[in-house]
Structure 1
Amino acid sequence: MLPGIARQTLIFLDVDGVLIPLRERSATMDHPSIGAVTHAYGDSGNPLLHRLDPDDGRRLLALNGELVWATTWMAEANEVISPRLGLPVLPIVAWPDIDDELAPGLHWKTVSITRWAAGRPFVWLDDEITDADQRWVATQYPCPALLHHVDPYLGLTDADFATVRQWLGRHRTV
């Protein structure tokens, strides 16, 4: 990075359990547009896409960070999820084919995400983050990082967005 030029904080996004909750969402004040995704795009063979909340795309874009897919959906996240949420094509973390020896309890994504972040502050939204991941990143990663566990039955909520906005406000890079 050039001296004096800051780059946005990275925001790594998982899909299943984060954007697509495990439990059926109903239209509420927090999620008024649930179900609109299926009507506009069909289900593309995935019976859970109707659980996406199209408003999540607007709320993610408003976070003032660089969004990155960190999901096993890989390129399908851009093909299937992005259009339904009104997101642009996003970069994708490529997962290694070879399993490295992991510290006990460490999520298999953790090391790859820190390598991809390459010394930039980041937020990671996932439903499988553990205390082991928190400890490992706190001791092994040189920049601020928020590893935020999302309740997989609820998906992203207003409280999750508030937590991320608050953290980003304290760790502004742009």
Structure 2
Amino acid sequence: MTGHTERPLLFLDVDGPILPFGEDPHRALRGTTPDARLARLTCELGSRLAALPCELVWATTWEEEANAEIAPRIGLPRLPVVTWPEPTDQHEREDRWFGLCWKTRPLVNWAGGRPFAWVDDEITDADRPAFRVIRHV
């Protein structure tokens, strides 16, 4: 037991998990406009996410744009947003050495010891144990 009384965090990436790449195989081709992928989003997705027993947080390079473009389309309120710090040379070398996603260290630090889950298409097998060993610095 961690002693935290807050709900766990759920870090959400946009490109890939929320907004799939490629064409929707169940619909006619839509073209290549930026809104083509956004048109696939439904309120059902937002309802399902909102029903989860956790606090939703955008963990995407969309940053605040996720609140402007994605959240209203899927029926979510504004969510907290992880802003990505400039990595240090040492952190970049360590992350490459261990095969970590570039987001892993900032998310572990953002969580500050709070339990979390992370939905992203860039998570590697090396990232899973790193959640336990990277500490807020």
Which residue type is aligned with residue 101 of structure 2? H
| Cα displacement (A) at 1:8 | 0.7
Q: Identify the residue that residue 109 of structure 1 maps to in structure 2.
A: 103
- Structure-2 separation of matches of 1:112 and 1:87: 24
Conservation of the 8 A alpha-carbon contact between 1:19 and 1:53: no
TM-score (norm 1): 0.64
Percent identical residues: 50
CA–CA separation in structure 2 for the residues paired with 1:117 and 1:53:
28
Structure 2: distance between partners of 1:49 and 1:69: 16
| Structure 1 segments unaligned to the other structure (5+ residues) | 28-33, 35-43, 142-174
User: Relative to structure 1, is the Cα distance of residues 45 and 23 closer, same or farther in structure 2, using a 3 angstrom cutoff?
Assistant: closer
Normalising by structure 2, what TM-score? 0.80
Show the counterpart of 1:132. Answer: 126
Q: Which has the higher mean CA deviation after the structures are superposed, 70-79 or 89-98?
A: 89-98
Letter in 1 for 2:113: G
Amino acid at match of 2:47: R
Distance 2:13 2:70 in 1: 11
| 1:55-102: CA deviation from partner (whole Å, max 9, x where unpaired) | 110000000210000000011000000000100000000101234333
Task: Give the deviation of 1:25 after TM superposition.
Answer: 2.8
Asked if structure 1 preserves the Cα contact closer than 8 Å seen for 2:105 and 2:134, the reply is no
One-letter amino acid of the structure 2 residue matched with residue 11 of structure 1 = L
RMSD (CA atoms): 2.3
Runs of 4+, deviation exceeding 6 Å? none
Matched position secondary structure for 2:36 = coil
In structure 2, the residue matched to 1:31 is none
Q: Does 1:11 align with 2:5?
A: no
Q: Give, in whole Å, the separation in 2 of the partners of 1:10 and 1:106.
A: 20
Match of 2:20 in 1: 21
Structure 2 residue runs of 5 or longer lacking an equivalent are: 28-32
Q: 1:86 to 1:26 in 2, by over 3 A?
A: farther
Contact 1:74 1:94 in 2 (8 A): yes
Once residues 23 and 70 of structure 1 are traced to their aligned partners in structure 2, the CA distance between those partners, rounded to angstroms, is 21
How far apart are residue 26 of structure 1 and its match?
A: 5.0
Give the C-alpha shift of residue 5 in structure 1: 7.0
User: Residue 64 of structure 2 corresponds to which residue in structure 1?
Assistant: 75
The answer as to whether partners of 1:16 and 1:22 remain within 8 angstroms in 2 is yes
- Size of the aligned set, in residue pairs, is 124
